[in-house]
Amino acid sequence: MGLIEELMKNNYLITPSAFYLLNEYYGERFNLGQLIKFAKSKGTFIIDSKLAEDFLSSLGLQVKLPLEDSTPSRPKTEADDRPEIALSEVLGGFESGINELSEDESFGTETAPEVASQSSHEESSISTGEAVLTETLKASSGQTGAEEPNFSEGGSFISTGEVELGESEGGPEVGSGEAPSEEVQAPVSNGLNVESNGYADSEEYYENGNGVKPKMVYGDYGIPIAYVEEEVPEEEKSYSVYSDVVIKPKEGFSYRARDIKDDWKVVFDVKNVKFEVPKAKNAAGKEGEIIVKVYSNYFKSRLRKMKRIIRENPEVGGIIDIAKLSYVQTDEDVTILGLVNSKRETKKGYMFEIEDGTGIMKVFINRNNEESKKFFQIMPDSVVAFRGRYSGRNIFFADKIFLPDVPKFKRKKPPLEEKVYAILLSDIHVGSNKFCEKAFERFLEWLNGEVNNRKEEELVSRVKYMILAGDVVDGIGIYPGQYNELAIPDIFDQYEALANLLRNVPDHITTFIGPGNHDAARTALPQPGFYEEYARPLRKLKNAVIISNPAVVRLHGRDFLIAHGRGIEDVVNFIPNRSHHRPAEAMLDLLKLRHLAPTFGEKVPIAPDPEDTLVIESVPDLFQSGHVHVMEYKIYNGVFLINTGTWQAQTEFQKMVNIVPTPARVPIIDVETARLRAVVRFDQFCEGV
DSSP string, 599-650: -SSSSS-B---SS-TTB--S--SEEEE-SS--EEEEEETTEEEEEE-BSBPP
Q: How far apart are CA 664 and CA 455, in angstroms?
A: 19
Q: Are 595 and 557 in contact, with CB atoms under 8 Å apart?
A: no
| Per-residue model confidence (pLDDT) at position 17 | 83
Residues in contact with 560: Cβ distance below 8 Å, sequence separation at least 6, in sequence order: 422, 467, 552, 553, 554, 620, 621, 622, 624, 674
Task: Report how many helices (DSSP H) and strands (DSSP E) the chain contains, helices first.
Answer: 14, 23
Work out whether the CA dihedral 457, 462, 467, 472 comes out positive or negative.
Answer: positive
Q: Are 361 and 354 in contact (CB under 8 A)?
A: yes
Q: Which residue has the higher pLDDT, 50 or 256?
A: 256
pLDDT band at 409 (very low <50, low <70, confident <90, very high): confident
pLDDT band, residue 383 (cuts 50/70/90):
very high
Query: How many Å apart are CA 94 and CA 567, to the nearest integer?
Result: 62
Give Cα 287 to chain centroid, integer Å: 32
User: How far apart are the C-alpha atoms of 616 and 332, rounded to whole Å?
Assistant: 32
Does position 179 have pLDDT exceeding 50, yes or no?
Answer: no
> What pLDDT was estimated at residue 206?
40
Choose between 416 and 32: higher pLDDT: 416
Rounded to the nearest 10 degrees, what angle do helices 437-447 and 454-461 cross at? Answer: 80
User: Is the pLDDT at 662 greater than 70, yes or no?
Assistant: yes
Question: Where in 309-376 does DSSP place strands (E)?
Answer: 334-345, 349-355, 360-366
What are the CA-CA distances from residue 323 to residues 150, 176, 363 (Å)?
103, 108, 14
Domains of the chain: 1-232 (no CATH), 301-402 (2.40.50.140), 421-685 (3.60.21.50)
Q: What is the DSSP letter of 530?
A: B
- Bridge-based pairing state of the strands 675-681 and 349-355: unpaired
Query: Per mean pLDDT, which of 76-85, 330-339, 510-519 is the most reliable?
Result: 510-519
Looking at residue 470, what is its pLDDT? 94
Q: pLDDT higher for 585 or 100?
A: 585
Is the Cβ–Cβ distance between 194 and 182 less than 8 Å?
no
Return the pLDDT at 234.
59
- Mean pLDDT for the chain? 79
pTM for this model (two decimals): 0.67
The pLDDT tens digits of the residues spanning 265-307 come to 999 999 999 877 666 666 666 666 777 888 889 999 999 999 9
Please tell me the predicted confidence (pLDDT) of residue 35: 87
HSE (side-chain half, CA atoms, 13 Å) at 119: 13
User: So what's the pLDDT on residue 52?
Assistant: 87
Q: What percent of the chain has pLDDT over 70?
A: 73
What are the tens digits of pLDDT across the range 485-530?
999 999 999 999 999 999 999 999 999 999 999 999 999 999 999 9
Alpha helices in 159-261 (DSSP H): 202-205
The number of CA neighbours under 13 Å toward the Cβ of 624 is: 31
**H or E element, residue 13:** strand 13-14
pLDDT of 420 above 70: yes
- The neighbour count for residue 342, using CB atoms within 10 Å, is 11
Instruction: Give the model's pLDDT for residue 351.
Output: 96
* Report for 223-232, 329-338, 675-684: range of highest mean pLDDT: 675-684
Pairing relationship of beta strands 558-562 and 622-625 according to DSSP bridges: parallel
* pLDDT for position 445: 97
Neighbours of 327 (CB within 10 A): 8
pLDDT confidence tier of residue 176, bands split at 50, 70 and 90: very low
Do 606 and 600 meet the contact criterion of CB atoms below 8 Å apart? yes
Higher pLDDT, 608 or 593: 593
Beta strand 46-47 with 665-670: parallel, antiparallel or unpaired? unpaired
Q: Is residue 526 a contact partner of residue 549, using CB atoms and an 8 Å limit? A: yes
Band of the pLDDT at 224, cuts 50, 70, 90?
A: low
Q: Say if residue 131's pLDDT is above 60.
A: no
The residue ranking higher by pLDDT, 428 or 608, is 428
Which has more pLDDT, 187 or 227?
Answer: 227
3-class SS of residue 226:
strand
pLDDT exceeds cutoff 90 at 443: yes
- pLDDT value at 263 more than 60: yes
Q: Are strands 421-425 and 665-670 parallel, antiparallel or unpaired?
A: antiparallel
Least confident piece of the model among 136-150, 292-306, 332-346: 136-150
Instruction: Using the predicted structure, report yes or no on whether residue 195 has a pLDDT greater than 90.
Output: no
Band of residue 158 on the pLDDT scale cut at 50, 70, 90: very low
Which residue would you say has higher pLDDT here, 150 or 279?
Answer: 279
Residue 180: the pLDDT is: 40
- At residue 261, the pLDDT reads 94
d(CA 680, CA 248): 20
Angle, helix 491-502 to helix 437-447, in steps of 10 degrees: 30
pLDDT of residue 90: 35
> How far apart are alpha carbons 307 and 355 in whole angstroms?
13
Query: What's the pLDDT score for residue 476?
Result: 93
pLDDT digits (tens, 9 = 90+) for 663-676: 999 999 999 999 99
User: 53: part of which helix (H) or strand (E)?
Assistant: helix 49-58
